[in-house]
Structure 1
Amino acid sequence: MKMIKKAKTKAGSHKASLSKLANKRTNRLAKQGKLHKADKKKKKKTIQENYNKKQQKEQQQQQNAMVNDDVEEEEDNGLSDVDVQYFQRLKNANNFLKGNLSTESKPRSKKRKRTEEDEAEEYEQLPRTFAADKESQNMKMMLPIIAKGKVIKRVAEKDVAESREDIDQQLPVDKTSVPENEIEEAELTEPSVEKETESEKAYLATLSAAELLVYRKNKLAEKKQKIASLSNSVLEDPQNNMKKLKELRLMLGDTEPGLALTVRKYVMVSLMEVFKDIVPGYRLRIPTEKEKAQRVKKETKSLRDYEASFLLNYKIYLEFLETMAKVKPVQPKSFLTKHGIFDLNLPRTSMLEFGKLALKCFCEMLVNHPHFNYRNNIINSIVPFMNRKNSEKLLALLSKRFSKRTSLEISHWRLSETLAGW
């Protein structure tokens, strides 16, 4: 018997099915990492849709089976379709049978009454607020500092920015000094101060001599403590504590009966020492209206506001010193009264002593900062006192101070020019 050899098929002559070829291609792309993710998402979405359709179909079949069972039962009871529909509408209309027809009272609420224990428990569960939380709301975080390898966090009190104002020209303004547009603050009215003074006087009238002495002693100690605290805060950080400088300057208008003159002396000397330390070594210039309209960085705007507020407080202080040195009463509706400083109606002798102290502070500001704004105003205010009696002390003070300083151009030409005019 002859063996019949099968003919060898050529490679590639066998044809695979389309589905098998597609699976091979998919596997090959998956191994290469080139398989599109969109295909997987589409396939997953299709499977989910098919599953949902299957579930809906099963639920529909169950509902149809239940309806058919109900219809068969109804047919057994001999009810027509109209009766079936009617009873289906009245399916839940039997609630009236559950009510108590013997009384007309309303059904009682299932909610139980609140007791004092429940209210106390709810109160205990409320969050507590402490004084530290209220203080933290008025604080803001500052940039930390590194000391001895440790990071130290810093916080500062939020400052309330003062609004703008046009400053009245009470002093003759120097050409090189700042313009009139500076920081504005709330005007203080004299009637309100008078009301407080009258009520204070009425209270003091009820005290005995010993009680009055103790009261004034304690009150003065409180004022001195406040002045020291405000001065220290301003010296630590002038730019961020401009609000404290304003508060200290407002104490120049203190009207406490029996203490006002003493408090004003303490505040006047304290402000002199504060300004001697924080006045910059250059003149300040307020930007023009055109410069204010331009958009600037937040830091630049903050610096401008600080400089304007600083100059306003400085000018009010100089105006106060000039008025007190000339032993003049504070006129109503003047620049000083607008900023909370009113006349005390003191005796002439008390005003003279107070004026001498104000003149000394005036000279100290000129000698320590002859380069700063309003220097010509200070010179014009001091020179007339050199022609009066007992002016030797003033001349000795100025000559002694100026002799210790080298770069004082005003001692060369400005002071001599002013003296020549007198």
Structure 2
Amino acid sequence: MAHMAIKTAPAAEQDAAGGAHAGNSSSALVIVTILFFMWGLITSLNDVLIPHLKAIYTLTYVQAMLVQFCFFGAYFIVSLPAGALIRRIGYQKGAVAGLLIAALGCALFYPASMGGYGLFLLAFFVLASGITVLQVAANPYVTVLGPARTASSRLTLTQAFNSLGTTIGPAVGGMLILSTMTAADAATVRGPYLALAGALALLAVLFLAAKLPQIAGSESAAMAAKAEGSALAHRHLLLGAIGIFLYVGAEVSIGSFLVNFLGESHIAGLSHADAAGYVSVYWGGAMVGRFIGFVVMRAVSPGKTLAFNSLVAIALVLAACFGTGTVAMWAILAVGLCNSIMFPTIFSMALHGLGRHTGQGSGILCMAIVGGALVPFAQGALADSLGVQLSFLLPAACYAFILYFGFKYANLYAAR
């Protein structure tokens, strides 16, 4: 990412308004933290809606996975236009635009409930497009809303609330959406998603009214990167991008199939509504593991921690593939704990030592999130041909590459 700078007032004006700025920063941080929570909740609701829509429209698994294809495909398609939009209208107005687009996407669930599966897919794409713009616009604010020395703690806080959203989302969705499962149940999405549309619109108003620091981007680093080659010349970035693609794909894919997997008679035989509560356990493990990993990686290298987590994840997924009953059930749920440190660790390792190519590298890694669209789609094809249980061999293969990446660069920071 290009270097960021905060436009500051003259010293006398800053002294006079110091207390007001502190108050504004605190209020703004609260709003940004709510944004992280909201998009975590909205993203994890997909895991509840996929089995719901599959049952309503009698879809194959491949057809049902079009939900994630449209949702995460928006990250790939919209990221670059979102960056251009932010450069044109600024970060604060960009965040407002993202919120309003996401609100529109939620509102589209109402006509979709009467118009068929294709309209649902359009609604998912519009919703994810808004979230993509939000992420491009809101992330920089976390680092500038307070002293630089506490930026890491603020990032940890916002990410924790994002994980809290992914943990709560499936449980709430299970209660509000999966409580009944008849052909007319497409209407059950109307209330929850209209409420989300209203909440996002309200956040847009609050964000527009907030007095936030103005962030100015320096183009010099980006121009230098273009002038002096490509970030892809760094092998660890290329492998890291593949790692992000496969990690996001595996994490999203497992979550997408959990409800159906736990509904299998030889696994747990749960109803969709009951299984949705266990999806929260999967995402909650990632939240808990993030704090454990923070402590562990103070003593153990990130690469070794990543390799260890990947190895355990492979073992757990294989246990779910070939086991039965509670062993298979809890094995797949425990993968969430292993997922916790993977995204930030792969991301930071891939960017290490890139210097002026860091901005370009970051953009490449963000686009690799499209794995969340393609891997579930591929697992859907396996589920249709081999069954849901054996289809989890695909996420196991994804974790195998991440194991290789962690092991290969276990001493990355010591070597540079």
**Do the two structures share a fold, i.e. TM-score over 0.5?**
no
Higher share of residues assigned strand: 1
Of the two, which has the highest radius of gyration?
Answer: 1
Structure with bigger helix share is: 2
* TM superposition score normalised by structure 1: 0.23
